[in-house]
């Protein structure tokens, strides 16, 4: 560090602050995206846990017959799980990949999260919306008098936002550095750009 009016640091002409500013913006974006992803994961878990209870209970009580169905379960009279719900219950796997990628900025795990969100999260949700489209039309025509059970389907938005922030986080980890400067990649190796 140079003092005011004192000698300048050796090897610095004072123009390297621009590079530091770009790196600081990248780090700030990375921190924000990680925070938003963690909040989205909490929302996702709040939807996923009841779905696990529903699908898991159906598997244990009806499909495998491992336990006798409790009275409370019979009183709930839950509808049978759709095939897309079984696949959607696996949508916790991409969350694990993302959480594992956060500590050391492992881009490959973040990519697995991004594509896993599409395969296990967004795609089954869209298939579910498409398969229940006739019920949606019936509900829209008849309103509250319809016998269609309703559920506020916010989980496709959770997956969409999760993919958006994952994409931005990946971009923050792989910013291009100015020519001739030293930049560290996510694997910890220094790379000299030309």
* 189 pLDDT tier (thresholds 50, 70, 90): low
- By the 8 A CB rule, do 183 and 177 touch? yes
20-54 per-position pLDDT tens digit? 666 778 889 999 999 999 999 999 999 899 899 88
**Residue 193 included in any domain:** no
Domain, as residue range, for 58 = 24-176
Q: 3 lies in a domain?
A: no
CA-CA distances (angstroms) from residue 43 to 15, 19, 47, 156, 162? Answer: 44, 37, 7, 12, 11
pLDDT reported for residue 182: 46
How many domains does the structure of the chain reveal?
A: 1
| Bridge partners, residue 86, by sequence | none
In a domain, 194, yes or no: no
pLDDT of residue 16: 63
Residue 133 located in a structural domain: yes
């Amino acid at each position: 560090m140079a003092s005011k009016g004192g000698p300048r640091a050796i090897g610095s002409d004072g123009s390297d602050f621009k590079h530091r500013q770009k790196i600081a913006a990248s780090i700030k974006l990375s921190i924000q995206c990680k925070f938003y992803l963690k909040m989205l994961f909490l929302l996702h878990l709040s939807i996923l846990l009841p779905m696990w209870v529903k699908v898991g209970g159906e598997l244990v009580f009806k499909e495998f017959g491992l336990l006798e169905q409790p009275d409370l379960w019979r009183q709930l009279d839950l509808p049978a799980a759709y095939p897309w719900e079984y696949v959607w219950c696996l949508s916790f796997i991409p969350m694990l990949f993302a959480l594992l990628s956060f500590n050391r900025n492992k881009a490959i795990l973040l990519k697995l999260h991004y594509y896993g969100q599409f395969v296990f999260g967004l795609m089954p949700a869209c298939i579910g919306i498409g398969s229940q489209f006739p019920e949606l039309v019936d509900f829209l025509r008849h309103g509250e008098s319809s016998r269609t059970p309703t559920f506020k389907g916010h989980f496709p938005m959770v997956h969409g936002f999760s993919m958006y922030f994952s994409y931005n986080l990946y971009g923050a980890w792989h910013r291009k550095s100015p020519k001739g400067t030293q930049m560290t990649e996510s694997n910890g190796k220094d790379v000299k750009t030309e």
